[in-house]
Amino acid sequence: MANLVLTIISLLAIGWTLVHAGEPSPLQDFCVADFDSPVRVNGHACLDPKKVTADHFFFEGLHKPGNTSNPLGSFINRPTVDEIPGLNTLGISTVRVDYAPRGIVPPHRHPRASEILTVLEGEVICY
């Protein structure tokens, strides 16, 4: 009986491994891209915080409607870290999508990311 209990405990110990998965907490609040640095580690190197300004987190242009006169009937305005240096290493972005009636955005994925849609006018069908 003791052998059986010992065997069960041994099997549990072998097969039961504590797994911890998930994104590590960010080590910094922000890391504004330093485009002059040759270092590339998970994005751009961080600009010296003393050189960071509010403009590094600002993008002007999402208020402008895009031209949807194309075969897809949609226009995506997706500023990246190149336009908003403050997005560097954050893994977030913001996008404006304009659709013509019956316009589409081809199927796509957002690996390791979530998506929130806000429809300001009309109706969007998501599959």
Ligand X SMILES: *[C@@H]1O[C@H](CO)[C@@H](O)[C@H](O)[C@H]1NC(C)=O
Summarize as ranges the residues that interact with ligand X (CB under 6 A): 67, 69
CB 126 within 8 A of CB 69: no
Q: What is the torsional sign of CA 83, 109, 91, 73? A: positive
Give the nearer residue to ligand X in terms of CB position, either 101 or 111. 101
The H-or-E segment that residue 12 falls in is helix 2-15
Are 97 and 115 spatial neighbours (Cβ–Cβ below 8 Å)?
A: no
110 is in an annotated binding site: yes
Task: Compute the least distance from the CB of residue 117 to ligand X, in Å.
Answer: 24
115 annotated as belonging to a binding site for a ligand: yes
Q: How far is the CB of 70 from ligand X (least distance, A)?
A: 6
**Nearest CB to ligand X, comparing residues 17 and 67:** 67
Q: How far is the CB of 67 from ligand X (least distance, A)?
A: 4
